[in-house]
Each structure stands twice: as C-alpha cells, then as structure tokens.
Amino acid sequence: MKLNERIAIVTGAASGMGRSIAILYAKEGAKVVVSDIDLEGAKATVAEIETNGGSAMAVLTNVTKEEDIQNLIDTTVKVYGTVDILVNNAGIMDNMAAAGDVTDELWDRVFAVNTTSVMRATRKVLPIFLTKGAGVIINIASVGGLRGSTAGAAYTASKHAVVGFTKNTGFQYAKEGIRCNAIAPGPIKTNISASMGNVNQRGAAICNTGMSLIQRLGEPEEIAGAALFLATDDSSFVNGTVLTVDGGWTAY
C-alpha cells in the first residue's frame, strides 16, 4: 500500500473528485478524514471506505469559516495523532459572468470557498508539518486557473490565485521537507455545476466557444489517480507545480 498509515484530510469529500480521492487513499492504506459541509454525504463516503476495510471519519466543515477549518485540523490530530496529507478540494463555480457583471457577493463567495479556504487550511497544517519535517499539500485548481475564459471572471481569478499560492508554498517550504502541488482538472463528471446559480448568458456563450474541443469528460477516479501520485514518494521530486489532467483539452 502506497499510503500505509498516513493520515490524510480531504475537503469536499462527500461527492465528486474529493470522494474518489478519499476512497482511493483509504484503499492505499491511509486513514482519511472526510471533510464536507454535507455531513450526510461525508458519512456515506466514510461508510463506503469502512465497508472496504478502510479507516475514515467524517467532519462537518464549512471551509469559509476559519473556526471550522481549525476544528477540522484539531479533530484530526486528536483522533489520529497527526496530519500527513492535506487535499484542498472543496470548490464552487461562479455564474460565468465576465468582470462587468460580477457582483461583490459572488466574488467574495467564490474566493472564500476556492481560495481563502486553501490558504487557511494550509496555514493551519504547516506547524504540524514543520515539526515533523515532512508533509504533502495538494490543491485542486482547474484548467480555469491556467486559461482565460473556461469560466467566469470570479472562478478564473480564484483558481489562478490557487495556482500562484501553490507555487509560492511549494518553493517557500521545500527545504523543510514539505511539498505543495496542484492538480488542474479539465471537465470532470461531478455535481459542481449545481453551485453555479443563475448563469450569465453572455458570459456562458463566450466560455462555451472552447467546449467543442473537449474530447471527453473525465471521471473523478482519474483525478484521484493523479492525487495519489502526488501524495506518495513516487512524486518526491515534484514540488510547486501544477499537474494538468484534462484529456488533452488545453493542448490545442
């Protein structure tokens, strides 16, 4: 098992990519903390892990609340003794609006979930990692963090920020044995579109111009495979970078 006895936190793990990452990590021997604002969904992920012989627990977490993130880290340490791997997966979409149509409310909500939560969770595990001289952080970014208009202005800016934060963190803490990388998924079969709200028709029409280039939708398990690689010693010399997993979409 590639993650035997490692302790992993996965946010947004009640469904989609987070759920698949949590299940695969547990299969590979990790003890997984399944974090989500959907507690029942998180418990369902835990139940599947335990049915397959793995170890996991669910922690209710609203990643926009610093006290919830602190509780997530504290609970993990209390139950399992430490943290080895943090996967910042929780995220939401915007409504495809370009800059002129973005409201402060939309901007703040998207950044709170997609970007600020990544910073806060990272900030809170770093003292643990520094004490141990080891630790892995994996941030789920997006091809929207590499391109200009696969989504609206708020989502695009939030994911670009995650990419920059990942590179900065990876470089800043490399000498302390801590690695921080990101995954930039292409279009994946998840329920994230449910967080979109009222779609801005003008923005959506422009964003959709590149959708014809997509060869196929990815499966959450395909992102989980990349997250497993980045969590293990197989990627020991991979740090501060972004792994694009999009079926070749952005290669055009």
pLDDT by residue (tens digit) across 10-57? 999 999 999 999 999 999 999 999 999 999 999 999 999 999 999 999
For the question of residue 80 being annotated catalytic, the response is no
**What was the pLDDT predicted at 213?**
74
Question: Residue range 226-231: average pLDDT?
Answer: 98
**CATH topology (fold) of 7-251:** Rossmann fold (3.40.50)
User: What is the overall mean pLDDT for the chain?
Assistant: 94
Is 66:120 a contact under the CB 8 Å cutoff?
yes
Size of the chain in residues: 252
**What was the pLDDT predicted at 214?**
79
Round to whole Å and give the CA distance between 1 and 165: 30
Q: What is the pLDDT of residues 131-149, one digit of tens each?
A: 999 999 999 999 999 998 8
Is 87:37 a contact under the CB 8 Å cutoff?
no
Q: What is the pTM of this model?
A: 0.95
Question: Residue range 155-164: average pLDDT?
Answer: 98
- Give me the helix-helix angle, 220-231 and 16-27, nearest 10°: 50
Round to whole Å and give the CA distance between 80 and 90: 22
Instruction: Count Cβ atoms below 10 Å from residue 219 Cβ, excluding itself.
Output: 14
Rg of the chain, C-alpha, whole Å: 17
Domain boundaries, the chain: 7-251
Whether the predicted pLDDT of 211 surpasses 90: no
Q: Which is catalytic among the residues 80, 155, 173, 252?
A: 155
Whether the predicted pLDDT of 112 surpasses 80: yes
Which CA distances in Å does 51 have to 8, 46, 47, 64, 228?
18, 8, 6, 31, 21
